[in-house]
Amino acid sequence: MKVHEYQAKDLLRSAGVAVPDGIVITSAEEAGAAFDQLKEGLIVVKAQVHAGGRGKGVAIGPNDDRAKALEIASGQAPRPDGMAKGVQLVRTREDAIKAAASLLGKTLVTYQTGAEGQAISKVLITVGHDIVRELYLGLAFDRALQCPVLMASTEGGVEIETIAHTHPEKIHREPIDVGLGLAGFQARKVCQVLGLKGETAKKGEVFLKNFVKLFLETDASLAEINPLIVTDKGDVMALDCKFNFDDNAMFRHPAIAALLDVAEEDPAELRAGKSGLSYVSLDGNIACLVNGAGLAMSTMDLIKYHGGEPANFLDVGGGASKDQVLEGFRILLSSPRVKAVLVNIFGGIMKCDIIAAALLAAYSELDFRVPLVVRLEGTNVEAGRKMIEESGRNIITATGLTDAAEKVVAAAKGAA
Ligand code: GDP
Ligand code: MN
């Protein structure tokens, strides 16, 4: 689960991590009052979307060229004058209102959003700081080390992906013991790597320890502070922040779960989540209904191997009810991109006749506008197959994974 920058900063602030003061607004008129309240010379106006690269991003209207915007946001095309960026520095009340108006209600395209972009419905008005140094901090899980790793680099403010590629040695990696958090010696080491000295290093140690503590306590899965700055007063501060949380742990963090901004989420994924189904949206045209994540992965591999592209996959899990399967089909069929559906079920806990009954119910209740290929195997498979055959429905049955993949790829091509 992702949250907005302003929400991540609220969490950091309450955890004792230094962040600039800020006010969130939803209409340009509020920008003036926010400017007055912050009483600072430099103010930063920032689009709140679940994507990075906003500083170089382009805010566009409904009639603007999205593909062109993506080229500009990725630095592949020159930026014409007067094009609104997702992060704007202003010094007057009037400019703050103008900047907010150039963002709210628009779509922000950055190298991370793709040409689709993301709608801007909130803007953060925040106190600007003079930057003496721009640093980078990240926290992510290292699967090989089986623990979170604190990443620190003096190359802040730029795309860390580029540094990781060209100069991996410039990113220091400090493994975290999840039981102990960041130890004192580790905090001191990271401060040294970052070139923090004296009082600034002391502030840096507190910053780092609290940052790691927050990450561990909230079951975060990813956190990034880019840039972490050193101010002219020798303070360290998070100018930007990104936090992702583990969906599976949100039941024990209701306050964080409540931060979910549904406008930023894929509506089909949200809908599936409400029915206890896991749904993942992809770019192709073959919808997949499967049971189990491993089967989902191999089904998609097979589709690709046979020249097709999955549109999504929906995992009904081990004990899905008939209603869940029905809802699953509704979600799969709601995507206009879908040209064929593949049902690939191994009936272990989930019996094949239950799936067959749900399939047939879905077929009569829903408008099955595309070919349906079904491969069933496992418990009660004979009964399930018989039900489908005797139904007289136009369902393509397949035996084995290869047969199923070949049939659904052919069906999708025929319907395209
Ligand atoms: P991102 O582009 O989505 O990562 O958004 P950021 O919040 O990182 O802002 C982009 C850039 O704007 C930063 O890398 C800074 O260079 C600049 N910026 C943001 N806040 C301030 C500020 O308070 N003072 C100054 N001088 N620059 C800022
Ligand atoms: Mn940033």
The environment of the single-atom ion ligand 2, i.e. residues with CB closer than 5 A, is: 226, 240
DSSP states along 286-351? EEEEESSHHHHHHHHHHHHHTT--EEEEEE--SS--HHHHHHHHHHHHT-TT--EEEEEEEESSS-
- Asked if residue 227 has a cis previous peptide bond (ω within 30° of 0), the answer is yes
Substitution candidate for ligand 1 out of 19, 40, 44 with most atoms within 8 A of CB:
44
Pocket test for ligand 1, best of 239, 241, 242 (most atoms within 8 A of CB): 239
> How many Å apart are CA 406 and CA 404, to the nearest integer?
6
pLDDT at 415: 55
Quick check: CB of 156 below 6 Å from ligand 1?
no
Determine contact, residues 280/66, Cβ cutoff 8 Å: no
Determine the distance separating the centroid of ligand 1 and the alpha carbon of 195, expressed in angstroms.
21
pLDDT under 70: residue ranges of the chain = 158, 319-321, 415-416
CA of 190 to the centre of ligand 2 (A): 20
Which residue's CA lies nearest to atom 26 of ligand 1?
A: 130
Tokens (6 digits) for 231: 């101010």
Give residue 39's pLDDT.
84
Contact 283, 312 (CB under 8 A): no
Say how far apart CA 272 and CA 324 lie, in whole Å: 9
Q: Which of 5, 155, 224, 327 is catalytic?
A: 224
pLDDT, residue 319, reads 62
pTM assigned to the model:
0.82
- Asked if 31 and 23 touch (Cβ cutoff 8 Å), the reply is no
- Nearest ligand to the C-alpha of residue 118? 1
Distances (CA, A) of 142 to 151, 174, 244, 323: 11, 10, 15, 39
4 alpha carbon, closest ligand: 1
* Cβ of 54 less than 6 Å from ligand 1: yes
Of the candidates 198, 377, 202, which has an alpha carbon nearest to the alpha carbon of residue 298?
A: 377
| CA nearest ligand 1 atom 7, residue | 240
| Placement of tokens 């990113």 in the chain | 171
52 lines ligand 1 (CB under 6 A): yes
In the block, tokens 């609220």 appear at 10
- Quick one: pLDDT at residue 322? 74
Name residue, tokens 């749904």.
279
265 has catalytic annotation: no
User: Each residue of 388-400: pLDDT tens digit?
Assistant: 999 988 899 998 9
Contacting residues for 136 by C-beta, under 8 A, at least 6 apart: 151, 152, 153, 154, 155, 156, 157, 160, 163, 171, 224, 225, 226, 227, 228
| 136 carries an active-site annotation | yes
Pick from 149, 219, 153, 221: which is nearest to 182 by CA?
149
CB 121 within 8 A of CB 49: no
Rg (CA), the chain: 25
Which pLDDT score is estimated for 275? Answer: 82
Among candidate residues 269, 206, 282, the one with its CA nearest the CA of residue 238: 206
In angstroms, what CA-CA distances link 199 with 96, 153, 233, 391?
A: 34, 20, 10, 77
Q: Look up residue 301 and give its amino acid.
A: D
- The answer, yes or no, to whether any atom of ligand 1 lies below 6 A from the CB of 8, is no
Separation CA 146–CA 116 (nearest Å): 35
